[in-house]
Each structure stands twice: as structure tokens, then as C-alpha cells.
Amino acid sequence: MANMRSIRRAVRQIPVALAFVLAVSSPSAHATDLVANRSELIQRLLPAVVNIAVRKEVAPPTGSQQASASTGSGEIKSYVGSGFVINPSGLIVTNYHVVEDAFDIAVTFSDGTILPATLLHASRLADLAVVQVKADHPLTPVQWGDSTKLNVGDQVFAIGNPLGLGVSVSAGIVSGLNRDVQDSPYNHYIQTDAAINHGNSGGPLFDMKGRVVGVDTALVSPTEASAGLGLAIPSDAAEFVVRRLMQYGWVRPGWVGIKIQQVTPEMARAMGMQRPQGSIVSWIMPGGPAQHAGLAIGDVILKYGDDAPHDERALLRDIVKTPVGKAVNVVIQRDNNELTLPVTVAEWPRSKWDERDAPLPAEHPNGRIPPDLGLSLAAIPTSKRASLGLEDTEGGVLVADVVAGSDAARRGMTNGDIILRVDRDATASPDDVWKALNAERAEKREFIMMLVQQKHPRAPGAEWVVLRLHEPAG
């Protein structure tokens, strides 16, 4: 029988604007105090959980006839995910795959407030990102919990934005621990039957005291919907990665310069071990900390400090979490003898790490923000007004060119469009537009609205276009 299992990122693509819906089951007539207390707990947590809507530019297939010849940009698609506040200043944690390659990020809170967000730091390997919003008041943060104390059967609940519906709550239990579905030492997922669907990505998994014990990340299902197999990054890994990202701008993992493999039952029999345990060294970096400490290929690592890692991923997690410069006693088995070797942990070479992990995306494909939103404007000759469908008294400014990859291009503007208004003010010349832009910048506005008569309208009549304001380059 074909393998029907499919691992899907819990991020949802959406074609329309989001509605904000609270989906919490009403207690029955026989509701207990426990249910009432749980409802109160959830109400206190809702302000800390957010919906994240992003827009990404998806490159068209080679030779596509739909690509815009004037902008060179691909198709713009919208996606939704979730996140949670970790600091009153506006720091929010989500999955990296939610905001990866996004040129526009909007965060919606449980009270309906929508704020633009910027990506601060990200780790592709850990699939975690930190985004920043600027609010006019301190935000409500979550409290991290200890995922190492979770047991199978513990009750948990997830809050997120499934299928783009809005803030929703689902409850369940911890169905499994240490699930390995990807090639990364961070991937020792919590499995839960609390419903996780597309759009839950980046949302928190809470214990029954309201502490975050996981970051909802993926679902395992033969269909697009939840099959009761949700996966969350444990809080012990997530909190470590986030803390390092905020402190150093990257994970700055510990490193000893070795490659290891899990000791299998066959390996154990080949080495004369009574049972399989530990991780065997298969390669050592010349001149690295492990070689300096005396480790050799074929050594079996049984203990790392006070820990006896149950598999090679657990050992790697122990190493990357070790403070740089700390000496750790490593217990190994070599030729049926146990030895203890002190290994001084070094910093993972930054250049090598950056090859594996995600650098921050450039704010603009050309490496800089184009001046004045990427627009080149021109006055409209009187002789052409009639052919453009404009009355003599109507005003308007012609869009002569749009820089490829700019915010204006991504939002659908193209050469031949006509700007009729900036906010509520009519425009009759390019100077009117520039003055309005400078006035909005002086007021520290994040966005500006333009009423645009499009060259290729989707429907008759002008449309409002919202552009993100940037300071002119240079």
C-alpha cells in the first residue's frame, strides 16, 4: 500500500481578507469548575496570541505569459499563520516558514487591532522567527513553560488562526514526544491531538497553567485537514533559539567539530556491546575542539556532562546549547574501556553556519529601497486626457514607470496607471504627489493611500492602493 502520510506546514494561503472569529466551545449545563477556570485562563491568554498575514511574491514559471513585462515581478500570494507576544515592547515569535520571503507582514490582535510588522531575526533550521510591531501601549506577553517536564497524556491546548478563520482554540493531550520528521537537531517535536490546521503555524501550544510548552508548526495528514497528528517545537528548544537570536542576531551554537551517528543494534553487536547506547564518532574536524580533547573516530559517546543523551539528536542539542568556552566532561567507550575527556566547546564557525541557516532577506531585491516607492511620474498632456478617459477638470498624474520588485509593483501598479488622489487630496501634477509623500513621511506614517485609475482594471472605476512609506534612498 502506498504511504499516505504527508507532513504539511501549518500555514494557510488565503485569497480574501480575514474575519476575526473566536471559536471556543460553550460549557454544558454540567460544566465543572475546572472548565470555568480553563475558560478564564484562555480569555487571559487571547491578547498575547496574534494572527499573522503575509504577502509573498511567487516567481512565475519560466516563459509564463502572465508575468508582467513592465515590472518583471511574479504572482503575489497571501498566506496566514499565527504567533505570540514574548515581550511587552512588541516582540512576537512565529515560524520562519510563515514569514519567509514575505515583503509585507501584518499582525492582528484579538481586539481587532492590526499593526504592520518587520522581521528582526530568523533561523531556518529551527523554523523560528522574531518579528516586531510598534504599539502605543505595552503588550501582553506569554510565559514560557518547561517542555522537558511534559509527559504523554498531559493535557494541552493550542490557540491560533486555523484556515484563516481567526483566533481559535483547540484542546487535546500530548500524544507523543521526541518526534523526528526533519534533518535538524532541533526537531524533537511534541505530537498532540489538539487540532492543528493550516494557519496554526507559529501559534502557541499551552499547558494547563497557561505556559507555552511548544510552537505549533506542522500537521501530519493524508489530506489538507487535521487528522489528529499535530507537531510543535518544544519550548526548551524554541526559547533557547529565540534568546540567542535576540542576543547575538544568530543562534551562535556551541561546536566541537565532530560528526556522530546513533549506535544501532547491529553496530552494538559488531562492537561487542551488551546493548545499543550512545552515539559513535564517524568524523573529526582537524584542529577542532574534539581533536584537541583526544576524541577519535570510533569512540562511542555515552555521556555529555551530566546528561546521557538518548540519541544523536539529543547529543547535538546538548552541544549547541553549551556556552562557548565551557569545558564539558565527555564519557566515551573505546576498546571496551570507559574514558572521560574534557572538551572545551567553541563557537560554530559563523560562515559555515550561515551556509545552513537562513540569512535575513534583503528589504528590496536590488539591495536598497527605491526612492519614492519605486514610482516615476509624469504630467498628463491635455491631448491625451480624452483617450485616458479623463475630464479636463479631473486632474490626475501618469505613472510613467514602476521599479521591478518595489512595493508599488508588488501591489499591482504598472506604467500607464493614473494617480487621481493621495489620501483625500486631488493630484494635478507630479509635484502634488511628491509633496503629499513628504508630508506623510514628516508625520511618521507607515502607509499612504492613493486612488488609482488602473491601466488594466479588474472592474470599472478607480481603486485605492495602499503603499508602504520609506525614506528616499541617498
Query: Residue 447 and residue 440: Cα distance in Å, rounded?
Result: 8
Q: Is 293 helix (H, G, I), strand (E, B) or coil?
A: helix
Could you say which DSSP state residue 392 is in?
T
Terminal Cα-to-Cα distance of the chain (whole angstroms)? 62
Task: Give me 143's grid cell.
Answer: 510565559
The active-site residue, picked from 127, 207, 216, 357, is: 127
Residue 8: its pLDDT value, please?
63
Question: Cα 296–298–302 angle (5° rounding)?
Answer: 90
Residue with cell string 486626457: 385
Fold equal for 254-356 and 371-468: yes
Could you say which DSSP state residue 305 is in?
T
Could you say which DSSP state residue 274 is in?
S
Torsion of CA 369, 373, 376, 379, to 10 degrees: -160
298-330 burial, b at 16+ Cβ within 10 Å, e below that, comes to: ebbbbbbeeeebebbbbbbbbbbbbeeeeebeb
Question: Cα 306–127–6 angle (5° rounding)?
Answer: 105
Question: Cα 416–413–113 angle (5° rounding)?
Answer: 150
Where helices occur in 249-325 by DSSP H, the ranges are 265-271, 289-293, 312-321
Residue with cell string 498628463: 380
pLDDT in tens, 20-53: 333 333 444 444 455 568 888 888 999 999 999 9
Residue with cell string 497571501: 78
pLDDT in tens, 264-303: 888 888 888 888 899 999 888 899 999 999 999 889 999 9
Structural domain boundaries in the chain: 7-59+70-248, 254-356, 371-468
Residue 11: its pLDDT value, please?
60
Cβ neighbours, 10 Å, residue 208: 15
Task: Give me 460's grid cell.
Answer: 470599472
The active-site residue, picked from 201, 226, 235, 279, is: 201
pTM, two decimal places? 0.70
Residue 145 burial (10 A CB sphere; 0-12, 13-18, 19+)? buried
DSSP 63-94: T-TTS-TTT---EEEEEEEEEEEEETTTEEEE
Query: Residue 194 and residue 213: Cα distance in Å, rounded?
Result: 13
Residues 6+ apart with CB under 8 A from 167: 20, 21, 22, 23, 46, 49, 51, 110, 159, 160, 161
Q: In sequence order, what are the beta bridge partners of 190? A: 232
Q: Which residue, among 253, 248, 239, 250, has the nearest Cα to 87 in the 3D structure?
A: 239
Residues 6+ apart with CB under 8 A from 69: none
Q: Are 79 and 53 in contact (CB under 8 A)?
A: yes
Q: How far is CA 219 from CA 50, 150, 265, 365, 379, in A?
A: 20, 20, 31, 32, 54
Residue 217: its pLDDT value, please?
85
Question: Which residues in the chain show pLDDT less than 70?
Answer: 1-36, 59-74, 182-186, 221-228, 358-372, 392-393, 470-474
Task: Give me 288's grid cell.
Answer: 577542532
Could you say which DSSP state residue 21 is in?
-
Residue 290: its pLDDT value, please?
93
Residue 470: its pLDDT value, please?
59
Cβ neighbours, 10 Å, residue 414: 18
Q: Which residue, among 422, 420, 429, has the nearest Cα to 447 in the 3D structure?
A: 422
- Does residue 97 have an active-site annotation? yes
Strand-pair category, 143-144 with 211-220? parallel
Query: Residue 208 and residue 252: Cα distance in Å, rounded?
Result: 33
Q: Are 251 and 244 in contact (CB under 8 A)?
A: yes
Could you say which DSSP state residue 380 is in?
P
So what's the architecture of 7-59+70-248 in CATH? Beta Barrel (2.40)
Torsion of CA 20, 25, 27, 28, to 10 degrees: 130
The active-site residue, picked from 73, 82, 97, 318, is: 97
- The CATH code of domain 371-468 reads 2.30.42.10
Look at the alpha carbons of 387, 392, 394, 396 in this order and tell me if their dihedral is positive or negative. positive
Residue 126: its pLDDT value, please?
87
- The CATH code of domain 254-356 reads 2.30.42.10
Residue with cell string 503555524: 201
Cβ neighbours, 10 Å, residue 438: 12
Query: Residue 405 and residue 369: Cα distance in Å, rounded?
Result: 10
- Does residue 127 have an active-site annotation? yes
